[in-house]
Amino acid sequence: MSRIPRAPVIGVGLLGLVVALAVLALGQGGASPAAAQPAEPAYKCYDIVGTDPPDIVNLVTQFGAEDNVAVGQATKLCLPAGMNGQPIPGPEVPHLKCYNIAGEDPPRAMKLTTRFGVERYVPVGQAKLLCVPATKTIPPDPPGSEPSPTLPHYECFDIVGSDPPDTVRLETQFGVESTVAVGQAAKLCAPALKNGQGTLSVPDLKCYSIAGAASGKTVNLTTQFGVEAAIPVGPPSLLCVPAAKQEAVGGIAEVPAVAGTSAEEAGTPAGGSGWSAGNYAAVAVGLAAAAVAIGGGGWYVRRRWIR
């Protein structure tokens, strides 16, 4: 019985490895990206000092109903924002004017997914803001008309979330900021019905702390609570982005689509901790190719042994 020559066996093994790696690379690089989806709006929120309307409202969110919620002082103006080169959303996306409230503290912990990544366990604290649609004009133009009651409203709850190591470019009607550092997550804004007005069929917003210079702008704002004229707009304090919300058990929530971003890119949390289904399929194909190569090497060895 002759000995098995080593060189041919090693050659077959290397050939199998090369084939497996090639198939794996093709599987990872050949997946076609998903078509661009319409962008859900991001918001850049600036500090303001506004009036305290003497209003009591009833609110409904996915967390439940709250009756007789007192609406306090106006504290923030949120402008629709284009992020990282995306265009500023059109007039169909309203500005938001946010008022202080003291709402309920839902005993919930949520799994939140945004373009910045996944947080698997985020306790939801007390409701602190009510954000309602607003019409904005710049003096000397007169105040605008009252916005439609069917536009989105939000009830914003305190959270303590992560601090993604991200810097973004933001563009609003006030101008462009090229390098805005995204700080700790601070608010979860849930779609709300206010006295039956609004809609619950829009994404939640997860709001992160940001900083910047005062805008230097003065605006007129019209909401369902009335008109405020000549309000100075202070520095930015929050960046709010669409979020998928889910109870903190079970699978990961779906990532909201962002225009110009493939589903594979959106599904990978910051830091690269997520893989798409295409990547898993590529690995499976690569492993199958490796198995075929190993089997072929074994067949070759047996043939040489028999000889």
Q: Would you state the pLDDT for residue 5? A: 46
Least confident of 6-15, 41-50, 184-193: 6-15
Provide the pLDDT for residue 110: 96
Q: What is the per-residue pLDDT for 41?
A: 85
HSE-CB of 5 using CA atoms within 13 angstroms? 8
Co-location of 256 and 282 in the same domain: no
Same domain (yes/no): 198, 286: no
pLDDT digit string, tens, across residues 57-69: 999 999 999 999 9
d(CA 113, CA 91): 27
Residues 211 and 83 in one domain: yes
Closest CA to 304 of 10, 24, 90, 54: 10
Query: Do residues 132 and 280 both lie within one domain?
Result: no
Same domain, 136 and 52: yes
Tell me, yes or no, whether 202 and 234 share the same domain.
Answer: yes
Same domain, 46 and 191: yes
Question: What is the pLDDT at residue 253?
Answer: 53
Query: Does residue 200 share a domain with residue 158?
Result: yes
Residue 77 or 306, more confident: 77
Euclidean distance between CA atoms 239 and 185, whole angstroms:
9
Strand-pairing partners, residue 110, are 122, 247
What pLDDT is recorded for position 107? 87
Mean pLDDT value of segment 18-45? 47
What are the residue ranges of helices labelled H in 211-276?
263-266
- Say if residue 255 is in the same domain as residue 276: no
Pairing status of strand 42-47 against strand 109-114: unpaired
Alpha carbons 226 and 168: distance in angstroms, whole number: 34
The whole-number average pLDDT for the span 277-299 is 41
Q: Does residue 283 share a domain with residue 196? A: no
Q: Are residues 276 and 254 in the same domain?
A: no
**In-domain check, residue 34:** no
Q: Does residue 35 lie within any of the structural domains?
A: no
Residues 208 and 295 in one domain: no
Domain of residue 74 covers 42-262
Residue 14 lies in a domain: no
Give residue 256's pLDDT: 57
Assess if residue 25 is contained within a domain. Answer: no
pLDDT tens sequence across 222-278: 999 999 999 999 999 999 999 999 998 754 455 555 433 333 333 333 333 333 333
Residue 113 has pLDDT above 90, yes or no: yes
Average pLDDT over residues 102-110: 91
* Tally of structural domains, the chain: 2
The answer to whether residue 20 is domain-embedded is: no
202 is a domain residue: yes
